[in-house]
A and B are shown apart, each in its own frame.
Chain A
Amino acid sequence: METAPKPGKDVPPKKDKLQTKRKKPRRYWEEETVPTTAGASPGPPRNKKNRELRPQRPKNAHILKKSRISKKPQVPKKPREWKNPESQSGLSGAQDPFPGPAPVPVEVVQKFCRIDKSRKLPHSKAKTRSRLEVAEAEEEETSIKAARSELLLAEEPGFLEGEDGEDTAKICQADIVEAVDIASAAKHFDLNLRQFGPYRLNYSRTGRHLAFGGRRGHVAALDWVTKKLMCEINVMEAVRDIRFLHSEALLAVAQNRWLHIYDNQGIELHCIRRCDRVTRLEFLPFHFLLATASETGFLTYLDVSVGKIVAALNARAGRLDVMSQNPYNAVIHLGHSNGTVSLWSPAMKEPLAKILCHRGGVRAVAVDSTGTYMATSGLDHQLKIFDLRGTYQPLSTRTLPHGAGHLAFSQRGLLVAGMGDVVNIWAGQGKASPPSLEQPYLTHRLSGPVHGLQFCPFEDVLGVGHTGGITSMLVPGASEPNFDGLESNPYRSRKQRQEWEVKALLEKVPAELICLDPRALAEVDVISLEQGKKEQIERLGYDPQAKAPFQPKPKQKGRSSTASLVKRKRKVMDEEHRDKVRQSLQQQHHKEAKAKPTGARPSALDRFVR
């Protein structure tokens, strides 16, 4: 049994190699790195089975192996007023052992580069070229700066590693809890709530708060880390779904008839009757949109910042009860009973795309945090992972014995599937890779069938809602270890939250900007551009940007006669004409070559075919 290679697994040998390579120049940090690598694992005491659970380790060692980025040296321009050759080395007389700026790993820099240099540009004038160069230099500089600031991401994701081919899926939660520290162990708990039926649950964006609603009306919100209950009510109605709005202070609950919004005290703030019979809820945090899918087949977008319904789209596919959002571009994915998954944006009345995924109906859909992969499971008991980058083709397929009823992706790309009363978790290699469905990374059995799944952001925790209540299980390596303190800070105070709220509202993205490729917004609208050009030509009566007709230069020694001028002009014109003809001929050739069937040989009788 071979487990999937973990990213952290091969770190030590690399370091050894590095040391052997760099034996000659003795660097001052070498003494430092060795103890850090050795001392990185004192945290968890190894249990008798010798499993390794490495929570976090410093990242610094891994930057060393990269060479300095081979860009032009950025020598700081110091005005040397005092020209003293002897004092150049400074007061101490010691030479700087590492002159110049610190090296930056190229791959990291590449990660931040956004200009696609592979696309060829049309020939540009000198002035334009200088602008382009400035833009490129700017990009390079900013990406280098961003790469340098990667150093500040001190935390590294943890992972679970079986010893010599041991299957990690065999490790049960009790073992993990035993191995980790007390604080982490406290994150594994079970809430036995057998009374109010299967539970749906939702973590807030910061990962600090948990809300859950049972089908028999039980709604509760709590700070799950400290286990402090915020509110607990019974709405006396079936609860279909529950979701936090932009902050933990607001809570949307899809009840049997209408959509209700509560605050963190459990006080009902709104009852939105225009959203009725809602089955699933999704909140788009950057657009402040609450997307609701209803039994009536409508997908409704509600702007929670102004309380307006932005769009109500009829999916024309019957009851909607499978929904998920793409965190990358805020597109809503709906699963239908005819095996298709449709992608929706509030700006369009029809789906942006429709993908045929399964033979039977779609049971669950999930999209990973980079927006690259979509996992679907259908009634045909298959679990598929699709590539969303334009091809929409399945990358891997797996038949599950009972089919997966619920799917969720973690921040780092782990995929969890709830099948009956069992959850399976699959992991991939690294962050931007699809989970490999060969071997489950972890499995866990619950006390009842699964009804809701979500990974907690910024914590290696998976929340599972089932008929027996709520289970919070530990999944090492599930989530992002570094959080953005300004964006989603789990430890923020009330004041900070309020400030963040204001800022987030100021930066709210308009709903109509949701499209499949968000980077397309940084492109020129070519259609309007051409239309404008056409209108301008009509208005002026001529094309101001047209190429000026060739004017022969006057020549001396009597060669500038009118006849010769005309002749020269004619020559240029003919040349241009010939070029045009050549091009059109080539195009024709291409077309013919394409149209011609390659396989069949032409028959002599073809000439009689009409």
Chain B
Amino acid sequence: MTANRLAESLLALSQQEELADLPKDYLLSESEDEGDNDGERKHQKLLEAISSLDGKNRRKLAERSEASLKVSEFNVSSEGSGEKLVLADLLEPVKTSSSLATVKKQLSRVKSKKTVELPLNKEEIERIHREVAFNKTAQVLSKWDPVVLKNRQAEQLVFPLEKEEPAIAPIEHVLSGWKARTPLEQEIFNLLHKNKQPVTDPLLTPVEKASLRAMSLEEAKMRRAELQRARALQSYYEAKARREKKIKSKKYHKVVKKGKAKKALKEFEQLRKVNPAAALEELEKIEKARMMERMSLKHQNSGKWAKSKAIMAKYDLEARQAMQEQLSKNKELTQKLQVASESEEEEGGTEDVEELLVPDVVNEVQMNADGPNPWMLRSCTSDTKEAATQEDPEQLPELEAHGVSESEGEERPMAEEEILLREFEERRSLRKRSELSQDAEPAGSQETIDSGSQEVLSELRVLSQKLKENHQSRKQKASSEGTIPQVQREEPAPEEEEPLLLQRPERVQTLEELEELGKEDCFQNKELPRPLLEGQQSERTPNNRPDAPKEKKEKEQLINLQNFLTTQSPSVRSLAVPTIIEELEDEEERNHRQMIKEAFAGDDVIRDFLKEKREAVEASKPKDVDLTLPGWGEWGGVGLKPSAKKRRRFLIKAPEGPPRKDKNLPNVIISEKRNIHAAAHQVQVLPYPFTHHRQFERTIQTPIGSTWNTQRAFQKLTTPKVVTKPGHIIKPIKAEDVGYQSSSRSDLPVIQRNPKRITTRHNKEEKL
């Protein structure tokens, strides 16, 4: 509407302008100023009209810049003043009069008085009251929290809650009230008193007491003195150390260090003379330092300081010297010490040739043996392997030489043997320990067994290979020299053992692989392992090395089903052989065994068992679901199979179940079926505070029956949670029961809640 009107007015205006343009020409001449003014205003108006068109501030008050004649009688324009009209202004006459002052005052008073706020409604008031009351009560009641918690966690609660005082008094107090009455008693007491024997309190005579005290005092004093002395000495020492540490002079420290080193050297020299064993230990320490040095780059001129010095070295002599010093130190530290014991020095001349034969590595291994360092060992092994290959051929003539002239060359190989034997012993003990731990928890974790067996297996496999060669060599030896001492005959075993043991990291094989191997054996050449083992057995000397082959056997049993059944152990040398067998000679026995073997050749127990196991495994596996519909989307009929792609698409694979318990046990089939009858007796719902079944299991693992526990423990485990005394009234808990003092404040909320009860109580009290 307004827009229309505006447009109309605009039109009218433009018409007016056009009309006005005509006389403009001559009007201009008349009064330029006026005409200019008039045009200006019109222009302004037009602009305003246009600007008001877009609708933002359409309704603008008409501005009146000058007093106009036309004053509207309907509205008062207050534009000029810019202030609001105040009530008092209306009263004010043109001239101020005193009569109106009182009225004015009253007016102002009325105005200054604020209005009273509206009162809150009832619900809100109540809510606030409730909140406050709740907070207060909660605070009061919170003091009961520990009591409640305690009672909840208590093993047993006995009601009614009454604190009965335990009426156990020390015997002295019971006796103090007691007096001698009978003549006999009086006589005794007389006697006691005469000897100054105390009757009640500690049964010691004054003399005894005195002596006790004296002794204790003396001792105490001595001890105190000692302690004081020790403390003083300590503090002196500490002070001295602190003082010395504070000295900044580098030269001083250098001197001190050098002095120390010298001293150490001297001491070492002395030690070497006095106690060679201790000196050797010292040497070992030095050796260790060397190792550390070799590993670190501390003195290799690669540090920050060293690099800076290297830059400076060109120009600075001192820096050069310092660098040289460092390098020399490095050299000194890394230089290998000659283990020059007297015996070796003596024999050095004679054993030169052999020294060459025996590589350094052997010695090194021995020296480094104090800390198990796999890296170092590994680096050695390659050498030793080579050495072993060298050694073996060399060893034989050497040994023969020994046999001929035992007197001169006896000592050195013996020492070497000892070293090797010791190492062998260590290894064996280690292995035993691992085996023991394995024995301790064979049921628990398969992994430990795996790792353990892997280690030993790898060794033993190689050992078995080497055994054959060994036997041959031994045979040769035996033929060449019948009188080789026992120790020497044992020698090859540990020597070969060592590299084998050291080869461990390379030779590790997985169980699965071995199992496969075993299976292959099973199917392909069944009769092979047995004669082999027998051969070994016949060749083996029974007393010499009982440990290694036995262990090996046990390990093999763990893995290979074939060997597991064919293992041969030395037959019993029983004292009382059954009468029927007694006349059987060794050969006959062998024949007998052969017969047994032939008898069992037909029924292959192992294959049957494996087959059975495979079937059991297949049966227990979750089945895949095949949803293919033959004939859908392709041709169907007899002899036509749905395409592989389709089959693959519609085959729902069953989730792989947990691994079978007998996965790694080739000779066992353990049923995976669930015993539902037993499961009915098991707990099926977790009780409240437990979130995981294992947590709950832990709490029910200890049996509580009297069969497994002592009577006391049984009673304690089966005490009832709550015990009530028959015939007693159980009153609600009071603050006094728990040890709190009841205050009027604590009762406050209760009073507010039910005033009736309070009043009755008051009445009662009044009555009482």
Residues of chain A whose beta carbon lies under 8 Å from any beta carbon of chain B? 79, 81-82, 84, 86-87, 89-94, 114-116, 119, 121-122, 124-125, 127-128, 130-132, 134-136, 138-139, 141-142, 145-146, 148-149, 167, 169-170, 338-340, 345, 347-348, 350-360, 379-381, 387, 389-402, 419-422, 424, 437, 440, 443-445, 487, 507, 510, 512-515, 519-529, 532, 545, 598-599
B575 near A521: Cβ-Cβ < 8 Å: no
CB < 8 Å neighbour of B684 from A132, A397, A529: A529
Q: From residue A340, how far is it (CB to closest CB) to chain B in Å?
A: 7
Interchain CB contact (< 8 A) of B169 among A82, A121, A354, A355: A82
CB neighbors of A among B377-394 (8 A):
none
> Are B699 and A131 in contact, CB atoms less than 8 angstroms apart?
yes
Chain B residues, CB < 8 A from A149 = 710
B686: A residues at CB distance < 8 A:
524, 529
A142-B713 CB under 8 A given contacts A352-B670, A355-B668, A529-B685: yes
A293 to B396, CA, bound (A): 63
CB distance from A531 to the nearest CB of B (A): 9
Further 14 A-B residue pairs, CB within 8 A, beyond A82-B173, A91-B200: A122-B692, A128-B691, A128-B695, A135-B701, A148-B710, A352-B670, A355-B667, A394-B557, A401-B578, A420-B581, A422-B576, A513-B681, A523-B697, A524-B693
Measured in the bound complex, the distance between the Cα atoms of B202 and A94 in whole Å is 8
Cβ-closest chain A residue relative to B696: A524
CA distance A169 to B574 in the complex (A): 9
> When each residue 439-459 of chain B gets 1 if its CB lies under 8 Å from chain A and 0 otherwise, what string results?
000111000010000000000
Q: Is B30 on the interface with A (CB-CB < 8 A)?
A: no
A521 and B682 contact, Cβ closer than 8 Å, known pairs A339-B605, A356-B561, A401-B574: yes
Residues of B with C-beta under 8 A to A421: 578-579
Cross-interface CB contact of A359 among B444, B574, B605, B669, cutoff 8 Å: B605
Stretch at the interface among B81-89, B313-321, B563-571, B749-757: B563-571
In the complex the two chains form, what is the Cα distance from A523 to B56 in whole Å?
Answer: 82
Q: Are B701 and A512 in contact (CB under 8 A)?
A: no
Determine if B721 is an interface residue (Cβ-Cβ < 8 Å): no
* Distance A375 CA – B227 CA, assembled complex (angstroms): 67
Find out whether the CB atom of A389 lies under 8 angstroms from the CB atom of B581. Answer: no
Q: Given that A512-B678, A528-B679 are contacting pairs, would A167 and B665 also be in contact in the complex, using a CB cutoff of 8 Å?
A: no
Tell me whether B677 and A347 are in contact (CB under 8 A).
yes
Q: Is the CB of B169 within 8 A of A141?
A: no
The residue of chain B having its C-beta at the shortest distance from the C-beta of A124 within the complex is B695
Q: Is the CB of B675 within 8 A of A345?
A: yes
Q: Is B171 an interface residue (CB 8 A)?
A: yes
- Tell me which of A82, A393, A422 contacts B574 (CB under 8 A): A422
Check if A401 sits within 8 Å of B572, measured CB to CB.
yes
The answer to whether B678 and A515 touch across the interface, beta carbons within 8 angstroms, is yes
Residue pair A402, B580 in contact (C-beta under 8 Å)? yes
A528 — nearest CB in chain B belongs to which residue?
A: B684
Contacts of A396 in B (CB 8 A): 569
The answer for the CA separation of A507 and B706 in the assembled complex, in Å, is 11
Contact B669 A124 (CB under 8 A): no
Which of B169, B608, B675 touches A81 (beta carbons < 8 Å)?
A: B169
- 8 Å CB interface, B618-675 against A: 661-662, 665, 667-671, 673-675
Q: Which residues of B contact A132 (CB under 8 A)?
A: 695, 698-699
Are the C-beta atoms of A121 and B678 separated by less than 8 Å?
A: no
Closest Cβ neighbor of B604 among chain A residues: A359
Contact call A338/B608, Cβ cutoff below 8 A: yes
Given that A353-B668, A422-B578, A529-B686 are contacting pairs, would A358 and B170 also be in contact in the complex, using a CB cutoff of 8 Å? no
Of B596, B667, B684, which contacts A392 at CB under 8 A? B667
Does residue B700 face the partner (Cβ distance < 8 Å to A)? yes
Chain A residue at minimal CB-CB distance from B569: A397
Q: Is the CB of B709 within 8 A of A142?
A: yes
A545→B200 CA distance, assembly (Å): 68
- Taking the nearest CB of chain B, how far is it from the CB of A392, in angstroms? 5
Query: Which residues of chain B from 222 to 268 have a CB within 8 Å of any chain A CB?
Result: none
Q: How far is the CB of A525 from chain B (nearest CB, A)?
A: 4
Q: Report B516 CB to chain A, min CB distance, Å.
A: 11
B614 vs chain A, min Cβ distance (A): 13
Q: Does B689 contact A (CB under 8 A)?
A: yes
25 contacts between A and B (CB under 8 A): A89-B202, A90-B170, A90-B171, A114-B702, A127-B689, A136-B698, A141-B716, A146-B713, A338-B609, A353-B668, A353-B671, A358-B605, A359-B566, A379-B600, A393-B667, A399-B569, A400-B572, A440-B575, A445-B579, A515-B675, A519-B701, A520-B678, A524-B683, A527-B679, A529-B684
| Interchain CA distance A598-B680 in the complex, whole Å | 45
Complex formed: what's the CA distance from A69 to B509 in Å?
44
B682-A523 in contact (CB<8A): yes
Assuming the contacts A128-B690, A398-B572, A440-B575, asked whether A525 and B679 have C-beta atoms less than 8 A apart, the reply is yes
B426 interfacial by beta-carbon distance below 8 Å: no
Q: How far is the CA of A130 from the CA of B683 in the complex (A)?
A: 21
A-facing mask of B311-341, CB < 8 A → 1, else 0?
Answer: 0000000000000000000000000000000
- Chain B residues positioned under 8 Å from A520 (CB to CB): 678
- B129 contacts partner chain A, Cβ-Cβ < 8 Å: no
B355 at the interface (CB under 8 A from A): no
Cα distance, A170 to B573, chains bound together (Å): 12
Cross-chain contact A121 with B694 (CB below 8 angstroms): yes
Check B584 for interface membership: any CB of A closer than 8 A: yes
Beta-carbon contact of B600 and A359 below 8 Å: yes
Q: B730: CB under 8 A from chain A?
A: no
- Quick one: CB contact mask for B158-169 with A, threshold 8 Å, 1 for yes? 000000011011
| Min C-beta distance of A482 to chain B, whole Å | 15
Chain A residues, CB < 8 A from B557 = 393-394, 397
Contact check, B605 vs A389: say whether CB atoms are below 8 A apart.
Answer: no
A532 to B702, alpha carbons, bound, how many Å? 26
- In the assembled complex, which residues on chain B have CB atoms less than 8 Å from the CB atom of A136? 698
Q: In the complex the two chains form, is B678's CB within 8 Å of A532's CB?
A: no
Cβ contacts under 8 Å, B678 to chain A:
347, 512-515, 520-521
Q: Is the CB of A399 within 8 A of B510?
A: no
A13 to B274 alpha-carbon distance, docked (Å)? 35
Check A93 against B202 for contact (C-beta < 8 Å).
Answer: yes
B204 within 8 A of A: yes
Q: How far is the CA of A130 from the CA of B150 in the complex (A)?
A: 13
Which residues of A lie under 8 Å from residue B558 when comparing CB positions?
393
Q: Is the CB of B702 within 8 A of A139?
A: yes
